[in-house]
Structure 1
Amino acid sequence: MSDTASPLRHMISRRALLGAFGVGALALTGCQVSPLYGDQSPATGGRSATASALSAIAIDAPSDRTTQLVRNELFFGLGSGSTTPQYRLALRASSGAQTLGVGGTGAAFARTVRVTASYQLFVIGAERPIAENTVISTASYDSVDQRFANQRALIDAEARAARDVARVIEAQLAAAFAAGR
């Protein structure tokens, strides 16, 4: 009797497992992916309210190369370019390089670039900012005996740091909108 009971018990437990899997799959059919910040709204074309607010930010024209780098990253990251902006972002950025170490010959072999960006977010027509902060990021690069290679490495490191600064600003702005500012 134990010879026939074992396959029968195995078949019942297998059916129970498949049944549980089927019930679980059926329960998950109602799940969906939704935005992290805010609810989707038909009025915003299915985008979250936060995403719509972020895309309604006009970023002031840059005054230097570093501000341009951060602005470009923000422009693409925020989805800016709305024909009727509701917010204005005042942005200023600066960068500086620093030597981290000196090789045996006296030549610098490791350097770092620091990008600092300060921003203020205004509702268009308002004088008081609704969000403001200063964000700092660094990126390192290797220095060699070739002048062009060093200049190119500096430019690339500055672009990496500007990209990091822009991502932090995007997150801070999204948090400000999600908090209802």
Structure 2
Amino acid sequence: MSLPDYRSRVLSAKRFLSLGVVGLSLIAAGCQVRPLYSEAAPAIGSGGASGSVRSKLSTVAINQPGDRVTQEVRNHLIFLFAGGAGQPASPAYNLQMVVYARDLSLALVQNAINDKSGQPTAGSIRMTGNYVLTRVSDGQVVGRGTRIVTADYDAPRQRFAVVRAQRDANNRAARELAEALNLSVAQDLAKF
């Protein structure tokens, strides 16, 4: 290979690389990345910005619960949606939610005196939340989904301590499920 051939190959490789960089920058220029809870950019020709996801979340009403676990999830969601302001007076969206909690025994660890009582010493609460988000004005389904969370707990030998550990695990799972549902509903509302 002579020196002129080497230079022409290097120059053609540099040209190819520079064309690739320019092409990728043109592709990347069409992408838009912004935070989920940010204010929406104003549309061309409109008087201002459309409503943000946070303001849309504050107009979501949640159905009445049927049990304590669903009430816990609902309370956390109301706080997350409205920032502590409560349910909206005139909702634009309605959230129908069903929550199931299941207690799972995970492990049986025998103590040092070889206790063979057969009682589990660890457990887990699996909480499933199904939701359907509809627009009040026309009844259109805006979003639907299912979220599952788990919360682990230790089960000591005292009966009251086990009941309290299960209740605390239910409360933790309800809080985590509410946060997961909050994110899912916000993503559904960001599309509209």
Q: TM-score, normalised by structure 1?
A: 0.72
Show CA shifts across 1:44-93 (max 9, x none): xx996111110000100001111111111101111152221111000110
Asked if 1:98 corresponds to 2:69, the answer is no
Preserved contact between residue 37 and residue 175 of structure 1 (Cα < 8 Å) = no
TM-aligned CA deviation for residue 38 of structure 1: 4.0
CA 1:62–1:128 in structure 2 vs 1: closer, same or farther (change >3 Å)?
same
Cross-structure match for 1:78: 81
- Structure 1's consecutive aligned runs of 4 or more residues displaced over 2 angstroms after TM superposition are 34-38, 125-128
Q: Which has the higher helix share?
A: 1
Asked if 1:118 corresponds to 2:124, the answer is no
Preserved contact between residue 92 and residue 137 of structure 2 (Cα < 8 Å) = no
CA 1:50–1:75 in structure 2 vs 1: closer, same or farther (change >3 Å)?
same
Cα distance in 2, alignment partners of residues 115 and 71 from structure 1: 14
TM-aligned CA deviation for residue 130 of structure 1: 1.1
Structure 1 residue matching 2:104: 3-state secondary structure: strand
Preserved contact between residue 89 and residue 119 of structure 1 (Cα < 8 Å) = yes
Structure 1: tracts of 5 or more residues without a match: 1-33
Cα distance in 1, alignment partners of residues 94 and 128 from structure 2: 20
Structure 2 residue matching 1:108: 3-state secondary structure: coil
Q: State the AA in 2 paired with 1:86.
A: A
Q: State the AA in 2 paired with 1:74.
A: L
Cα distance in 2, alignment partners of residues 40 and 72 from structure 1: 28
TM-aligned CA deviation for residue 148 of structure 1: 0.7
Q: State the AA in 1 paired with 2:124.
A: T
Cross-structure match for 1:67: 70
Cα distance in 2, alignment partners of residues 36 and 57 from structure 1: 17
Structure 2: tracts of 5 or more residues without a match: 1-33, 42-48
TM-aligned CA deviation for residue 35 of structure 1: 6.0
- Aligned match for 1:140, one of 152, 155, 172: 152
Cross-structure match for 2:181: 169
Identical-pair percentage: 34
Cα distance in 1, alignment partners of residues 50 and 123 from structure 2: 42
TM-aligned CA deviation for residue 173 of structure 1: 1.2
Q: TM-score, normalised by structure 2?
A: 0.68
TM-aligned CA deviation for residue 40 of structure 1: 6.3
Tell me the matched-pair count.
143
TM-aligned CA deviation for residue 99 of structure 1: 0.7
Show CA shifts across 1:81-132 (max 9, x none): 2221111000110101111111222221110001111000011154442100
Preserved contact between residue 38 and residue 48 of structure 1 (Cα < 8 Å) = no
Cα distance in 1, alignment partners of residues 185 and 125 from structure 2: 24
Structure 1 residue matching 2:87: 3-state secondary structure: coil
CA 1:35–1:58 in structure 2 vs 1: closer, same or farther (change >3 Å)?
same
Cα RMSD after superposing both structures: 2.2
Q: State the AA in 2 paired with 1:77.
A: L
Q: Which moved more, 1:127-136 or 1:156-165?
A: 127-136
Cα distance in 2, alignment partners of residues 130 and 84 from structure 1: 18
- Aligned match for 1:130, one of 119, 135, 142: 142
